[in-house]
């Protein structure tokens, strides 16, 4: 599903290149649950951003579902956002002016899904996440864990093939963390959704089936998690 | 999608009520100023559009053959009455042609007397020939256009006048008498029609059209010429260029014929081509926009149009300023939406929609404001504008929609562009304060706004001081307790009034406030020729005015010579002549008249303050008993003016039963002279209030933005030990600099503008420094106040909250 070849990312500052990522080569297959780990500043988030096409690599090749991302125009990229990629953020990033239901509806609107189906899908997701009672609340009326659930619900409702999560539990307590991770595992196993998460927590990483460890922009380790 | 975006927009507006109110209010103010001008322009543009038939109506204009101050070619509306017949006979395209009186600007109108009622003055009663209503298709409420002016001595009234005179529209066959001046024998006319007022204003405005018979025939003596305006109705689809060529040829041939048997030939007489005979037809619908011999309305109101466009622009700029300042709040929404798969175009449309929502509300409010303010606007500027009862409501609505779209695009596009350009990565990471690149623009806009506001403030100050100066200036005569009756002086009548108790003096002069006519007549004095203004007065004119004697004496019946050879000078004239003029002689009319100077009076004002008092010589009129000055000054000796006036009016009614007495107190004439000036100042005050309000909104927006941008900095400084006051100082400093810079720029601008304005006065103050200082202090003070509102909020807020989240 994802092929990275020699990805490099650096900032040129007064002629000196400061590298964020170096020679990153890896591939991720459909249905994998990958955790990216490493110390602060190692380049985890940058790698995730590049994978999510929010940033461009300075050098290297990136194929997403067989297509060359570096040669992709903006319109095509937005199509990918709409149909294949779901984002989950550490700070949830729900739109404050929209209710829970509306937040979840937003990606469906961009996908131009007809109203009736939107309704049923939202109802479905709300039901599954046990949030039907909260659908008309605004994000600031929810707890952090609930907000992140909405965030994941929003990422899922468009039925993406991959979810990119940047420290999804970074702002949550451990009980809530576990709930979210469970959810990810379930999605991965039952619906075969590819999940890529950046995390600091060894424990969270154990929920997946593969761990990439990055240090100073280089992949140090690439191991499968033994169940 | 649309519904959701609308919901978000509304939620945002309700959440930020203050911001929304400022944004919408500012825009509504700017729009209101602009709409007033738009209404005015529409009104002026709508002249003579009340009937489609008027497309074929043309005004005949003749090339002005006298010298003009600017030496350019001019065309005048008055024509030789013979031209009407000439054109009708020679030019087949002309269906009907009509002749009508021109209206004299100095006239108070015509006296109308019905049976034994008191006569009333009515303006714009115009005499025409019987084709008038064949050319102008007025709608007849009573009578009809074929018969109305069929016979001489008939009169057709406008609806409103019929109601005013008779209280009813059923007036056919009633008799009225019209008099043009007090001694006029008058015409007895029969009402033959009543016409409805048209839906749009008219160039050929009238309250009544009479056919006295004067316009029916041209004078028999070829040497005599009657002047009148001529309007022609031409056949449909005539080629006007060709037509005008024909008109010109016919006219030149006609003019050539008048030279037959004269000593001077046609070619020789019209050596100057620009003064050679010319005649053309001008479409009636363009006449109002291109008046003959005067400046058209557009030229007059151009500065005001400019200012109102300016105000609208400022309010739009403010909108942009506020919206971009506010955009930080929306950055996350943009980032998330982009990641969810929104096109940039969709985001731009969303934010444009929000601007549209606000501008539609602003437009709504400004329409309400217009409705509320229109009556006072109308009475103030002496116009009759209406919003809903507008003949061109449809056009107006189209214009409003256009204006709405324009404002939405102008105000909404830049913020929408900025917002939709936010980079999702940086936004979602949390550092989206990339507002620095726009800060220069915003600062420049604030300076710009304050330059305007400060300039306005200084101008108001200077104008106020000048107005005070004028109001308290010694006029050189006593304007209280004097009335000026609009009438020629008649000794019989004057002596009757003099007998009334309380009347002190009755006299006449050509030189009095409100109706001055100054005539230059050079004198010979000690071998020098001196240009001097000559005014003839009656014995009691100068005492009636209450002039102040500086040297010698003024005229008095005690001295027999006074009616023949005495002269009084004013100070300006005396200065021209030199020292010790009393008792000296000078001659006029190349020695035919020798006059002796008996006194010098203080200069007295008889025209507006834009004109200097002319060096003037006063002598007693040779006519003595009667003179056609249209001024009859009456000074009262007691305060009891009501009673005295009543008695004078009684005498008037006995002397002139068919013509009402017209008079003005000199106090009122003085006020009238100041009126235009006052109106102008009030308008400037209004504009400056709006512009200052808008500038403060702009500043408020920018300071909000700055305070928000620096929340984190403020929090850290606070933790490091900065006091609230220190923080406020810090936030104020940069704005203070902007306002001071604006002051620095506006001083010279204001100086130049106000000096130009002052130069229009012959009597003026020296350029004062105080308005400049006060404007600066005031602008700095209100700027500090505005910024502090925000700065205080930022400084006092709990720093923990700003630092908690990254």
Q: Are B197 and B163 in contact (CB under 8 A)?
A: no
Is B339 near chain A, with CB under 8 Å?
A: yes
> Which domain CATH number covers A168?
3.40.50.300
Q: Is position A129 within any domain? A: yes
CA-to-CA distance for B276 and A160, rounded, in angstroms? Answer: 88
Mean pLDDT of all residues belonging to chain B: 84
Chain A nearest CA to B335, separation (Å): 9
Comparing CA positions, the residue from B147, B153, B157, B155 lying closest to residue B194 is B157
B6 touching chain A per CB within 8 A = no
Supply the DSSP symbol for B548. P
Q: Over the stretch B51-67, which tens digit does the pLDDT of each residue have? A: 888 999 999 998 877 66
The tally of domains found in chain B comes to 4
Same domain, B180 and B301: no
Residue in chain B nearest A154 by alpha carbon = B340
Q: Are A110 and B341 a contacting pair at CB < 8 A?
A: yes
Q: How far apart, in whole angstroms, are the C-alpha atoms of residue B700 and residue B696?
A: 6
| Torsion over CA: A93, A96, A99, A105 (sign) | negative
- What's the structural domain count of chain A? 1
Q: Quick one: average pLDDT of B550-573?
A: 86
Instruction: Look at residue B587 in the predicted model and tell me its pLDDT.
Output: 86
Cα–Cα distance, B2 to B5 (Å, whole number): 5
What integer pLDDT is reported at residue B803 of this predicted model? 56
Q: Are residues B92 and B183 in the same domain?
A: yes
Q: What is the pLDDT of residue B625?
A: 44
> What is the residue range of B212's domain?
54-287
Whether B482 maps to a domain, the answer reads: no
| Percent of chain B residues topping a pLDDT of 90 | 17
Q: Are residues B448 and B374 in the same domain?
A: no
Query: By the 8 A CB rule, do B783 and B703 touch?
Result: no
**pLDDT for position A25:** 92
Stretch (H or E) spanning A226: none
The answer to whether position B480 is within a domain reads: no
Query: Cα–chain-centroid distance for residue B372?
Result: 21
Residues B614 and B701 in one domain: no
Residues forming beta bridges with residue A7, ordered by sequence position: A24
Q: B798: pLDDT confidence band, cut at 50, 70 and 90?
A: low
Q: How far is A54 from chain B (nearest CA, A)?
A: 6
**Does any domain span residue B566?**
yes
Q: Residue range B323-349: average pLDDT?
A: 82
C-alpha distance from residue B116 to each of B175, B295, B660 (Å)? 11, 43, 13
- Choose one of B661, B689, B715: the last residue of a domain: B661
Mean pLDDT, rounded, for B593-616: 86
Largest CA distance in chain A: 57
Pairwise CA distance, residues B283 & A149, whole Å:
76
Q: Which residues of B touch A49 (CB under 8 A)?
A: 425
Q: 3-class DSSP state for residue B100?
A: strand
Long-range contact pairs involving B83-91 (C-beta distance under 8 Å, separation at least 24): B83/B230, B83/B251, B83/B254, B83/B279, B84/B60, B84/B129, B84/B228, B84/B230, B85/B218, B86/B250, B86/B251, B86/B254, B87/B60, B87/B230, B87/B232, B87/B247, B87/B250, B88/B232, B90/B246, B90/B250, B91/B243, B91/B246, B91/B247, B91/B250
Instruction: Tell me whether residues A91 and B335 touch, CB distance under 8 A.
Output: no
- Residue B207 CA to residue B123 CA, distance in Å, equals 7
* CB-CB contact of B691 with B456 (8 Å): yes
Closest B-chain CA to A101: B4
Q: Are residues B220 and B319 in the same domain?
A: no
Share of chain B above pLDDT 70, in %: 95
* Residue A158 is assigned to a structural domain of this protein: yes
Half-sphere exposure of B424 (CA within 13 A, CB side): 25
For residue range B463-479, what is the model confidence (pLDDT) as tens digits?
A: 889 988 988 888 888 88
Please indicate whether, in this complex, the C-beta atoms of B337 and A55 are within 8 angstroms of each other.
Answer: no
Q: Judge whether residue B392 has pLDDT over 80.
A: no
**Residues B220 and B299 occupy one common structural domain:** no
- Kindly state whether residue B552 falls inside one of the protein's structural domains: yes
Task: Catalogue the E-assigned strands of B603-724.
Answer: 616-620, 626-627, 632-636, 663-665
Nearest CA in chain A to B806: A91
- pLDDT of B622-637, one tens digit each? 654 445 677 888 999 8
All residues at 6 or more sequence positions from B361 whose CB lies less than 8 Å from its CB, including other chains: B24
Looking at residue B509, the DSSP 8-state letter turns out to be: B
Can you tell me the distance from the alpha carbon of A49 to that of B424, in angstroms, rounded to the nearest whole number? 10
Indicate whether B806 pLDDT > 50: no
Task: Tell me, yes or no, whether B267 and B319 share the same domain.
Answer: no
Domain around A100: 31-54+80-224
**pLDDT for position B260:** 77
Per-residue pLDDT, B666: 87
CB B78 within 8 A of CB B229: yes
Among chain A residues, CA nearest to B331: A95
Domain assignment present for B333: yes
Question: Can you tell me the distance from the alpha carbon of B622 to that of B562, in angstroms, rounded to the nearest whole number?
Answer: 11
Give the lowest-confidence range in A153-162, B508-517, B580-589: B508-517
CA distance B23 to B26: 5
Helices and strands per DSSP (H, E), number in chain A:
7, 10
The domain boundary, picked from B642, B661, B680, lies at: B661
Local confidence pLDDT in tens for the 227 residues of chain A: 899 999 999 888 888 888 889 889 999 999 999 999 998 888 888 898 889 888 888 889 999 998 898 888 888 888 888 889 998 988 888 888 889 999 998 888 888 889 899 999 999 999 988 889 999 999 889 988 899 889 999 988 988 999 999 888 888 888 888 888 998 999 899 989 999 999 988 899 999 999 999 998 899 988 888 75
HEC string for B303-359: HHHHHHHHHHHHHHHHHHHHHHHHHHHHHHHHHHHHHHCCCHHHHHHHHHHHHHHHH
Across the interface, which of A52, A96, A106 has its CB nearest the CB of B340?
Answer: A106
d(CA B119, CA B100): 24
Confidence of residue B805 (pLDDT cuts 50, 70, 90): very low
Q: Are residues B721 and B615 in the same domain?
A: no
Residue B106: pLDDT band with limits 50, 70, 90: low
Residues of chain A contacting residue B424, judged by C-beta atoms under 8 Å apart: 54
Residue B444 has a pLDDT of 82
Are residues B805 and A102, on separate chains, in Cβ contact within 8 Å? no
Name chain A contacts of B15, Cβ cutoff 8 Å: 97
* Single residue among B287, B312, B341 that ends a domain in this structure: B287
Sheet architecture: strand order including B503-507: B503-507, B632-636, B482-485, B663-665
Q: Are residues B400 and B453 in the same domain?
A: no
DSSP annotation of B233 reads E
Instruction: Name B484's bridge partners.
Output: B633, B664
Strands A210-215 and A33-37, sheet pairing: parallel
Residue numbers in A near B339 (CB within 8 A)? 52, 54, 81, 87
B281-316 pLDDT, tens digit per residue, is 999 999 888 888 777 888 878 878 888 887 888 888
Q: Which residues pair with A212 in a beta bridge?
A: A36, A222
Q: Residues 6 or more apart from B24 whose CB is under 8 A from it?
A: B358, B361, B362, B365
pLDDT at B748: 95
Asked if B424 lies within 8 A of A105 by C-beta distance, the reply is: no
Are the CB atoms for B136 and B229 separated by under 8 Å?
A: no
The C-alpha atoms of residue B629 and residue B528 are separated, in whole angstroms, by: 31
Confidence of residue B338 (pLDDT cuts 50, 70, 90): confident
Higher pLDDT, B430 or B241: B241
Q: Among B100-114, B232-246, B423-437, which stretch is predicted with the lowest mean pLDDT?
A: B423-437
Longest dimension (CA), chain B: 107
**Is the distance from CB of B121 to CB of B660 less than 8 angstroms?**
yes
* Beta carbon pairs, A and B, within 8 Å: 65
* CB distance B43 to B202 below 8 Å: no
Spell out a b/e string for B109-132, using b for 16 or more CB atoms within 10 Å of the CB, else e: bbbbbbeeeebebbebbbbbbbbb
User: CA–CA separation, B63 vs B221, rounded Å?
Assistant: 23
Q: Which residues in chain B have their CB less than 8 angstroms from residue A57's CB?
A: none
The answer on B466 and B506 residing in a single domain is no
Residues of A in contact with B426 (CB under 8 A): none
Q: Does B1 touch chain A (CB under 8 A)?
A: yes
Q: Is the confidence at residue B437, as pLDDT, over 60?
A: no
Q: A74, A71, A36: which is closest to A57 by C-alpha?
A: A71
End-to-end CA distance of chain B: 31
| Nearest residue on chain B to A85, alpha-carbon basis | B340
Query: Per the domain annotation, does B707 fall within a domain?
Result: yes
Asked whether residue A6 is assigned to any structural domain, the reply reads no
What residue of A is the nearest CA neighbor of B2? A109
User: How many Å lie between the alpha carbon of A98 and the closest alpha carbon of chain B?
Assistant: 7
| Cα gap B33→B307, rounded to integer Å | 9
- Give the least confident one: B171-175, B510-514, B633-637: B510-514
- Per the domain annotation, does B481 fall within a domain? no
Q: Which residues of B touch A111 (CB under 8 A)?
A: 341
Do B747 and B646 fall into the same domain? no
> Cβ atoms within 10 A of the Cβ of B316, count?
24
Residues B470, B581 share a domain = no
A220-A222-A226 Cα angle (round to 5): 135
Per-residue pLDDT band at B97 (split at 50, 70, 90): very high
| CB-closest option in B341, B343, B428 to A107 | B341
**Cβ within 8 Å, pair B341-A81:** yes
A119 touching chain B per CB within 8 A? no
């Amino acid at each position: 599903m994802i092929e990275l070849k020699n990805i490099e990312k650096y900032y040129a500052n007064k002629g000196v290149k400061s590298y964020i990522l170096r020679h990153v080569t890896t591939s991720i297959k459909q249905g994998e649950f990958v955790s990216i780990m490493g110390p602060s500043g190692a380049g985890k988030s940058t790698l995730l951003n590049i994978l999510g096409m929010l940033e461009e690599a300075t050098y290297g090749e990136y194929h997403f579902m067989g297509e060359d991302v570096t040669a992709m125009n903006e319109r095509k990229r937005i199509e990918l956002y709409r149909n294949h990629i779901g984002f989950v953020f550490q700070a949830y990033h729900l739109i404050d002016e929209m209710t829970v239901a509306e937040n979840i509806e937003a990606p469906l609107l961009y996908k131009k899904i007809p109203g009736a189906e939107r309704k049923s899908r939202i109802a479905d997701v709300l039901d599954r996440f046990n949030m039907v009672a909260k659908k008309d609340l605004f994000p600031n009326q929810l707890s952090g864990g609930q907000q992140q659930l909405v965030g994941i619900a929003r990422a899922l409702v468009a039925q993406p093939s991959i979810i990119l999560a940047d420290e999804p539990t970074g702002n949550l307590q451990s009980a809530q963390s576990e709930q979210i991770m469970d959810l990810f595992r379930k999605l991965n196993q039952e619906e075969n959704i590819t999940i890529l998460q950046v995390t600091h927590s060894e424990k969270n990483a154990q929920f997946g089936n593969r761990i990439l460890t990055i240090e100073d922009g280089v992949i140090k380790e690439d191991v499968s998690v033994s169940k | 999608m649309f519904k959701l975006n609308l919901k978000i927009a509304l939620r945002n507006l309700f959440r930020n009520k203050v911001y929304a109110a400022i944004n919408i209010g500012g825009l509504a103010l700017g729009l209101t100023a602009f709409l007033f001008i738009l209404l005015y322009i529409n009104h002026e543009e709508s002249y003579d559009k009340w009937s489609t038939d008027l497309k074929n109506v043309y005004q005949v204009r003749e090339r002005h053959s006298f010298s003009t101050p600017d030496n350019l070619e001019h065309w005048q509306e008055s024509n030789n009455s013979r031209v009407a017949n000439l054109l009708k006979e020679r030019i087949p395209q002309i269906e009907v042609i009509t002749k009508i009186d021109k209206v004299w600007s100095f006239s108070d109108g015509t006296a109308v007397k019905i049976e034994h009622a008191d006569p009333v003055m009515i303006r714009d009663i115009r005499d025409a020939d019987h084709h008038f209503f064949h050319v102008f298709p007025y709608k007849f409420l009573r009578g009809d256009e074929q018969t109305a002016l069929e016979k001489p001595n008939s009169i057709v009234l406008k609806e409103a006048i019929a109601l005013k005179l008779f209280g009813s529209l059923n007036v056919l066959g009633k008799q009225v008498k019209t008099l043009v001046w007090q001694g006029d024998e008058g015409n007895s006319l029969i009402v033959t029609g009543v016409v409805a007022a048209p839906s749009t204003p008219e160039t050929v405005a009238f309250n009544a059209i009479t056919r006295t018979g004067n316009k029916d025939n041209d004078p028999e003596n070829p040497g005599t010429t009657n002047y009148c305006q001529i309007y022609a109705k031409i056949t449909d689809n005539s080629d006007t260029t060709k037509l005008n060529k024909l008109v010109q040829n016919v006219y030149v041939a006609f003019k050539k014929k008048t030279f037959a048997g004269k000593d001077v030939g046609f070619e020789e007489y019209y050596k100057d081509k620009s003064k050679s005979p010319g005649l053309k037809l001008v479409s009636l619908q363009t006449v109002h926009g291109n008046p003959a011999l005067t400046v058209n309305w557009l030229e007059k109101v151009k500065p005001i149009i400019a200012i109102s466009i300016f105000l609208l622009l400022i309010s739009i700029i403010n909108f942009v300023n506020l919206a971009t300042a506010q955009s930080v709040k929306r950055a996350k929404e943009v980032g998330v939406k982009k990641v969810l798969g929104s096109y940039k175009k969709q985001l731009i449309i969303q934010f444009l929609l929000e601007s549209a929502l606000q501008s539609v509300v602003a437009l709504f409010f400004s329409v309400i404001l217009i409705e509320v303010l229109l009556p006072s606007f109308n009475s103030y500027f002496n116009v009759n504008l209406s919003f809903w009862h507008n003949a061109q409501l449809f056009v107006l609505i189209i214009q409003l929609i256009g204006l709405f779209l324009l404002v939405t695009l102008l105000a909404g596009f830049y913020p929408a562009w900025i917002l939709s350009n936010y980079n999702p990565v940086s936004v979602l990471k949390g550092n989206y304060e990339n507002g620095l690149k726009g800060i220069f623009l915003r600062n420049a806009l604030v300076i710009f706004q304050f330059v305007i506001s400060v300039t306005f403030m200084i101008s108001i100050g200077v104008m106020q001081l000048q107005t005070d100066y004028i109001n308290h200036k010694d006029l050189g005569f006593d304007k209280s307790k004097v009335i000026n009756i609009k009438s020629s002086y008649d000794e019989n009548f004057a002596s009757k009034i003099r007998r009334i108790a309380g009347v002190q003096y009755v006299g006449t002069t050509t030189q009095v406030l409100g109706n001055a006519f100054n005539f230059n007549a050079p004198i010979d004095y000690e071998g020098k020729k001196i240009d001097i203004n000559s005014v003839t007065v009656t014995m009691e004119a100068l005492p009636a005015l209450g002039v102040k004697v500086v040297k010698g004496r003024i005229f008095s019946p005690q001295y027999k010579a006074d009616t023949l050879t005495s002269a009084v000078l004013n100070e300006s004239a005396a200065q021209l002549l030199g020292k010790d003029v009393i008792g000296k002689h000078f001659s006029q009319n190349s020695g035919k008249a020798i006059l002796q100077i008996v006194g010098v009076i203080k200069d007295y004002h008889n025209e507006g303050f834009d004109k200097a008092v002319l060096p003037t010589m006063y002598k007693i009129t040779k006519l003595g008993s009667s003179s056609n000055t249209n001024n009859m000054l009456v000074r009262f000796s007691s305060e009891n003016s009501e009673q005295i006036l009543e008695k004078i009016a009684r005498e008037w009614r006995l002397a002139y039963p068919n013509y009402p007495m017209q008079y003005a107190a000199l106090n009122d004439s003085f006020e009238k002279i100041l009126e235009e000036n006052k109106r102008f100042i009030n308008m400037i005050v209004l504009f400056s209030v709006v512009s200052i309000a808008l500038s403060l909104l702009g500043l408020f927006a920018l300071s909000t933005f700055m305070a928000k941008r620096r929340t984190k900095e403020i929090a850290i400084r606070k933790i490091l030990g900065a006091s609230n006051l220190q923080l406020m100082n810090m936030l104020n400093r940069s704005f203070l600099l902007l306002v001071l810079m604006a002051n620095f720029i506006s001083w010279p601008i204001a100086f130049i503008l106000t000096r130009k304005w002052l130069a229009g006065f012959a009597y003026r103050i020296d350029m004062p420094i105080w308005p400049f200082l006060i404007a600066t202090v005031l602008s700095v003070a209100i700027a500090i106040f505005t910024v502090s509102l925000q700065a205080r909020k930022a400084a006092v807020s709990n720093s923990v909250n700003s630092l908690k989240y990254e």
